[in-house]
């Protein structure tokens, strides 16, 4: 293979990687941090897990399908999107949040443990026909 062909091939591979949606590159959060996330229930329809991040702890880039987050502690979190933008999220116990599919990394930037119950929907078709 000549040098020009190698450069073209390298460019094509790099382009393919850069054009791949982040959702395909990002990891499953439970597999990414089994020491911080504990699956409580999983079936064909949903997965429920508890996540705990101590102050200063991070969770690398990962993805969620449509989901509900129920916050069980007060915390301050930095959530970073694949494009590098970040938002600061502050919640208190009992707050609840509906989320469309998302890919992000997280860091607990507060002084308290983050404790959240996440319900991820594997399918979300509404009511099944009988």
3-state secondary structure 19-45: HCCHHHHCECHHHHCCCCEEEEEECCC
Do the domain assignments include residue 64? yes
CATH of the domain at 56: 2.60.120.10
Q: Count up the domains in the chain and report the number.
A: 1
- Residues 76 and 130: their CA atoms lie apart, in Å, by 44
The model carries a pTM of 0.72
| Beta carbons of 36 and 51 less than 8 angstroms apart | yes
Mean pLDDT by 10-residue block, N- to C-terminus, for the chain (130 residues)?
A: 51 40 62 90 95 96 94 96 95 96 95 96 60
Q: What integer pLDDT is reported at residue 79 of this predicted model? A: 96
Do the domain assignments include residue 9? no
Do the domain assignments include residue 5? no
Q: What integer pLDDT is reported at residue 32 of this predicted model? A: 79
Q: What integer pLDDT is reported at residue 33 of this predicted model? A: 85
Do the domain assignments include residue 15? no
Q: How many helices (H) and strands (E) does the chain have?
A: 3, 9
């Amino acid at each position: 293979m000549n040098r020009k062909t190698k450069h073209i091939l390298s460019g094509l591979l790099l382009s393919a990687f850069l054009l791949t949606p982040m959702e395909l590159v990002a990891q499953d959060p439970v597999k990414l941090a089994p020491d911080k996330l504990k699956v409580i229930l999983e079936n064909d329809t949903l997965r429920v897990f508890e996540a705990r991040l101590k102050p200063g702890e991070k969770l690398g880039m990962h993805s969620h399908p449509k989901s509900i987050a129920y916050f069980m502690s007060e915390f301050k979190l930095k959530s970073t999107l694949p494009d590098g933008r970040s938002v600061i999220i502050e919640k208190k116990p009992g707050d609840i949040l509906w989320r469309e599919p998302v890919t992000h990394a997280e860091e607990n930037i507060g002084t308290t443990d983050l404790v959240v119950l996440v319900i991820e929907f594997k399918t979300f078709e509404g009511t099944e026909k009988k």
